[in-house]
Amino acid sequence: MTETTKTSIFLILAVLLFGAAVLTRPVVHEIKMEEMIGKPLFPKFNDPLAVKTLEIVKQNSAGDQDIFRVTEIDGVWSIPSHDNYPADAKDQMGKVAEALVDLKVLDVVASQTEGNDVTALHTLYGVIDPTSENASLGEGIGVKVTLGGAGDEKFVDLIVGKETDAKEKKSPEDPAEPAKLRYVRIAGQVPVYVVEVDPSRFATNFDQWIEKNLLDISSLDVKEIFVDEYSYTIELEMTQLGAREIIAPTFIGDMTFGYDSSASGPEKWTLKKWMGFRGTKHEYYERKVKPEEELNTETLDGMVSALNDLKIVSVTKKPSVLAKALREGKPFAEQTGTPDPSLRKSGFCLVPNLPDLRRGTGERTQLLSNEGDIQVRMKDGIYYNLRFGDLTGTESEIPANNDTNTENSEKIPTTMGANRYLFVTAEFDASIIPAPEMKPVPEIPDGLNPDQTETANKEKEQIEKSNQREQERYEKEVEDGKKRAEKLTDRFADWYYVISEDVYKKIHLTQTNVFREKKKEPEADQHHEHEHEHAENHEHKHEITEPKLPNLPGTDGLIKIPGLDEKPAEEPKTEELKPVEEPKTEEPKPVEEPKTEEQPVAEPKTEEPKPVEEPKTEEPKPVAEPKTEEPKPVAEPQPSGTQNE
């Protein structure tokens, strides 16, 4: 091949490559502001039901990507980032679709014709793609929202940036509030637009995409709470054959609380039973509440409230073998085999041959939890078993609001908290269902006339029908309870749930947080001071204060409230001689006040020494009469006090 031929071939190839480059280069669309304003940014997206995938990507405070996906598989929405945990996407997806369908352009603030420094332009408006190389700059990073259909079809591929400074436009949803205007751009394109969009609808928090009420209960249906307080440690014992693992449980006791949702205040709660273990043989005995203690109803109410809306922050999938055994309802005794490592990792331990200390029926295989269990017993016979495991080693970062713009959210304080594993199972106990109340069916006696026989047969038939309805009611409730337990078991079987430490502290009851010291009653003297004041203002109630005066330890209480000195006639009842003297020396008012109401009272105090014992025999009268017949009953008791003093 000659050099000329080679050169020609190279020229031809160069032309072809240049042509290919031209044909495959990105198409830059010239944007005319007057043409874009008022038009939908994504004109082809008009059917929210066609959406099959949602992906939201943003940069977290550590500079890493947070990717959240929701996908519809076989008609069921799931979250791939959390082992395809079922998503309650109906409401949340509706919010996303509503925000993006018919999203109109309000303004075009920048296009590719306004400068060559595209990166600086996008940084300025906060629309840097978080999945691009420019995200490493750490500034102006937006939130990428992608809605797709079946296959690789994309309906929306949007980058949401900073909030605009314009506040004059009003929101159509609430005219009193300014519209939430944001800078946005279509991924892969240069122009930056202004649209009205609420970024809080693009939530990436796991708990916002799942069923809110994990247990699916109402506090109105709670019947009892059973608390099993214990813990365990794993110790290593060295033997000739090597190290041997020993499970060392510490059993503390259990408590059963009755709950009546129809009652109010502290009356909702009753302590039905409190049992403990003592001695080296772990004797199971009943404990009593100390006289100075009472139930901490605030803690108990807080626990029921948290259960009513139990929030989880994440999940971890259980091994399929364990999940299958739980679905089939196999007792833990049949699940021993090789211990599942996920149990230990999560803070749970399957222990064979563990003595049943409560029943005293020998040994059996038991599932122990690192921080004990609680059992929520419902009126419909469902028992929820909640077992508390170890800390997960991760923390939850919760922003103060749902602002999805990274640059803004970095300025918002976040709450970091530890998380803990939760193992949930459900079962059904038919004994909770009220047994059918059968009325006795009468026998038709002989010797009745036709009318009597007909009446008796009708009554018998009515009773039999009533009994049948009662039996059917019972059987239906039992059947419904079994089906519900199966449904819940299928729901819980696959997952170790993760709850925040704050939620754990609310629902984890112990003997230290369910009891408290009784609220102290007012001191006795203070209590009787109020009785005296009440008696002075209402003369007809003097007899109420009489039996309480002997309980006064002295006159300290009376000295604290000078107004009580105007009733010195009551003091002889207690044979307390000092109460009259102290008011005189310390309180000038007692002398003046009696003068306005009981002038004869002040003078006899210094004259008559005798009647010290008479008030004991005439206790009702000296109190009731001083104000109506002041000269007679008061003159005798008061001198005795002053004379002896």
Long-range CB contact pairs, 354-361, < 8 A, 24+: 354/247, 354/249, 355/282, 357/251, 357/277, 357/282, 357/284, 358/254, 358/275, 358/284, 360/284
* Mean per-residue pLDDT over the chain, rounded: 76
What the block records as the tokens of 97 is 């679709």
Spell 173-184 as b/e; 16+ CB within 10 A means b: eeeeeebbbbbb
pLDDT at 483: 95
Query: Measured between alpha carbons, how far is 498 from 512 in angstroms, rounded to an integer?
Result: 24
What the block records as the tokens of 286 is 């009943």
Query: Measured between alpha carbons, how far is 313 from 212 in angstroms, rounded to an integer?
Result: 11
Task: Dump pLDDT digits (tens) for 105-150.
Answer: 999 988 765 556 888 889 999 999 999 988 888 889 999 999 998 8
Task: Phi first, then psi: give them for residue 639, nearest 5 degrees.
Answer: -60, -35
Task: Dump pLDDT digits (tens) for 595-614.
Answer: 444 444 444 444 444 444 44
Distances (CA, A) of 538 to 10, 545, 565, 629: 120, 11, 16, 16
Query: Measured between alpha carbons, how far is 468 from 460 in angstroms, rounded to an integer?
Result: 12
- Dihedral sign, CA of 506, 511, 512, 515? positive
Amino acid in the structure at residue 502: D
pLDDT at 509: 95
pLDDT at 401: 38
What the block records as the tokens of 541 is 């109630």
DSSP state for residue 209 in the 8-state scheme: S
Q: Are 426 and 489 a contacting pair, CB within 8 Å?
A: yes
Query: Measured between alpha carbons, how far is 164 from 158 in angstroms, rounded to an integer?
Result: 17
pTM recorded for the entire structure: 0.67
Query: Measured between alpha carbons, how far is 350 from 332 in angstroms, rounded to an integer?
Result: 8
Distances (CA, A) of 638 to 329, 585, 623, 632: 84, 16, 12, 11
pLDDT at 114: 54
Spell 478-504 as b/e; 16+ CB within 10 A means b: beebeebbeebbebbbbbbbbbbbebb
DSSP state for residue 136 in the 8-state scheme: G
Task: Phi first, then psi: give them for residue 564, nearest 5 degrees.
Answer: -80, -10
pLDDT at 208: 83
HSE-CB of 171 using CA atoms within 13 angstroms: 12
Query: Measured between alpha carbons, how far is 297 from 480 in angstroms, rounded to an integer?
Result: 32
Query: Measured between alpha carbons, how far is 215 from 193 in angstroms, rounded to an integer?
Result: 45
Question: Among all chains, which residue has been given the structure tokens 């006791």?
Answer: 253
pLDDT at 300: 96
Question: Among all chains, which residue has been given the structure tokens 């605030």?
Answer: 298
Comparing CA positions, the residue from 608, 514, 530, 520 lying closest to residue 569 is: 608
SS3 496: strand
Query: Measured between alpha carbons, how far is 295 from 513 in angstroms, rounded to an integer?
Result: 9
Comparing CA positions, the residue from 129, 125, 162, 123 lying closest to residue 144 is: 129
Query: Measured between alpha carbons, how far is 387 from 376 in angstroms, rounded to an integer?
Result: 11
Cβ-proximal residues to 490 (8 Å cutoff; 6+ apart), any chain: 327
SS3 98: helix
Comparing CA positions, the residue from 321, 140, 184, 252 lying closest to residue 509 is: 252
pLDDT at 243: 79
- Per domain, the residue ranges of the chain are 33-208, 219-397+416-431+501-507, 524-644
pLDDT at 466: 94
Q: Are 528 and 545 a contacting pair, CB within 8 Å?
A: yes
pLDDT at 151: 80
Mean pLDDT by 10 residues, the chain (645 residues): 67 68 53 76 89 90 86 87 84 83 89 72 92 87 92 90 74 57 93 90 85 86 95 83 81 95 91 91 90 94 92 90 86 59 88 77 82 95 95 58 39 58 95 91 89 92 94 95 94 94 94 89 54 49 39 37 41 45 46 44 46 47 46 42 38
Task: Dump pLDDT digits (tens) for 215-272.
Answer: 988 999 999 999 999 988 888 878 877 777 788 888 899 999 999 999 988 899 999 9
Task: Dump pLDDT digits (tens) for 364-402.
Answer: 788 899 999 999 999 999 999 999 999 987 555 444 333
Query: Measured between alpha carbons, how far is 329 from 492 in angstroms, rounded to an integer?
Result: 12
CA dihedral 616, 621, 624, 627 (to 10 degrees): -100
